[in-house]
Amino acid sequence: MNSPARTTAVTGHPWLPRATCDVTCVGLDNAARSRRSRVVLRVALRVMLALLLAPGVPLIAIPLPGRTRVQRVYCRLVLRCFGVRITVSGNPIRNLRGVLVVSPHMSWLDAFAIGAVLPGSFVARADMFTGRATGIVARILKIIPIERASLRRLPGVVDTVARRLRAGRTVVAFPEGTTWCGLACGSFYPAMFQAAIDAGRPVQPLRLTYHHVDGSVSTAPAFVGDDTLLRSICRLLTVRRTLAWVRVESLQLPGADRRDLARRCQSAVLVGAAQQSGRHSGRQPGHRHVLVA
């Protein structure tokens, strides 16, 4: 896999990054364009599985013993609904409380891919949860909504993240501030890193990429531009198989400068991308890790 191209985002304000990626970046593999009967059968089976999993959403929010494991298993099952197989490589996942997890952002599917590795509460766009059903899901999962159009509320979001980190909870944020197609990436904006500094908690960078079965980068999961959630879901249902590669980078101590912390985390992700490219070059990584103290 080649290192991702760096594309300049179009910004109307420093806090409102806007990716140059749009729906023209999104493509399907050849299998999705194969026999119609196979695609129909594939979609029907996946929809049935999704309907069976839907009633279990509240279970991942109930504070029961082993809830973290339940969350991981549930997220993996959701990924299976969309034909996604996940592989974890890189550094060991440290069993720490109160960690800010950061990753490049491509899709709503990222929440399940990361939740299958490091489950926690997510910082997500408020406009993703304006519907009645999605609003209920957001409350159950304790989503921290961020209104990108209202900059005055951003400090409140940072304070909320810091409180959860101090309470020992894992919080997942996407510091690029918007989604990219996977062939390009944006810069890590420093605002959300202030929460880790205020709480005195470490940051765990992850590199998440999606691939076809031959190892080439897949843009099918990308949720960019004017794409709709329904169209994105339907597209993933038709794809024969998608590989999600999650690379765990080195844990970063918070320090005192959020810009420096953001740069360190992005550098760790870019170095991981180069290493992943050199090691696998089109092959699926097979190195898995367990939690360590």
Digit-by-digit pLDDT tens for the chain (293 residues) are 333 443 444 444 444 556 667 677 776 655 555 577 788 888 888 888 888 887 777 666 666 566 788 888 888 988 999 999 999 999 988 888 899 999 999 988 998 999 999 988 898 876 666 666 666 666 666 788 877 655 566 788 899 999 999 999 999 999 988 888 888 778 899 999 999 999 999 999 999 999 998 899 999 998 887 888 888 888 888 888 899 999 999 999 999 999 999 999 999 998 756 665 555 454 444 444 333 32
Q: Please answer whether residues 165 and 195 qualify as being in contact, where contact means their C-beta atoms are separated by less than 8 angstroms.
A: yes
pLDDT computed for residue 218 by the predictor: 92
The pTM assigned to this predicted structure is: 0.80
pLDDT computed for residue 129 by the predictor: 65
Helix/strand/coil for 135? helix
Residues 6+ away with beta carbon under 8 Å from 136: none
* CA atoms of 34 and 240, how far apart (whole Å): 10
Q: What is the CA radius of gyration of the chain?
A: 18
The residue written with tokens 């202030």 in the block is 194
